[in-house]
Chain A
């Protein structure tokens, strides 16, 4: 009898006590889910426009640089560049981003320019002070789609000029 009682005492419960850990995880998951953003954040690398340095300015190139620019003005987008005829694309001034028609026209125009000037990858986006950030990003997307991957941002001249950069 005594031996049996001894054996009963030695029985140990080896199960892990998971409930406290479960409680922590159950509290953590909804908290993280509520504050999580399931959208991918990407970046567009850009810079301010630079003036050509002195040595480059001294050397006169055989052909002037294209200096392609997309200007955002009241109710029109203007595409300008050396050796490129100025193109106008209608713009909805109240819209936060170019509509599908404007996007298509801009894309076509920029594609034609890049096809006529192979190797061109630079473009200036010249925005007005009240232009929405989303519109600037949309224009950069259109330019990138046409192969103009180096887009620099510039103010439309209503702000004081920078000492070196063009902004």
Chain B
């Protein structure tokens, strides 16, 4: 009687599940998906996502972004490192080609980059590249003033960020 009972108990143990889910394969899928999504943010060690509110123009060009100072222009503001520097309205209305607040920030950025390079002991010249992430709808006069300000404040190499046409 005892033997029969223990055999039944053994069979129950063998065929009864404890109700837990098999999560390992699910975890593999989700981890792969997570890395894929993170990769879409970063390309060539450079964050490529334009700031919210900026719709980049479309182009057939095929050159990748490089690490650089980034100036973003939307319909309302000119931004550097995500911080609003000047308004588009004031910039458009001004007769000056130089945007003074942006120039000040660029000089600071230039000095900071030079200091970092000196401390690192880098002998090669610090990059003078700046990337403009401008909205497709902005007027040329705003772009022109931003380019002029970049050129006159130590960033003569200018890259215009665009979205690749399909």
Contact = CB atoms under 8 A, between A and B. Distances in A.
Q: Is chain B's interface secondary structure helix, strand, loop, or mixed overall?
A: mixed
Given A15-B20, A36-B41, A134 B60 contact: no
B140 A129 contact: yes
A163 to B, nearest CB: 9
A125 B134 CA distance: 17
A140 B60 CA distance: 10
B136 A132 contact: yes
B144 to A, nearest CB: 5
A96 interface: yes
B69 interface: no
B136 A44 contact: no
Given A37-B40, A46-B158, A25 B141 contact: no
Given A48-B156, A96-B137, A165-B148, 19 more contacts: A32-B34, A37-B40, A40-B48, A42-B65, A42-B163, A43-B61, A43-B65, A43-B162, A47-B156, A47-B158, A48-B147, A48-B151, A131-B139, A133-B134, A140-B59, A155-B144, A159-B141, A160-B97, A167-B97
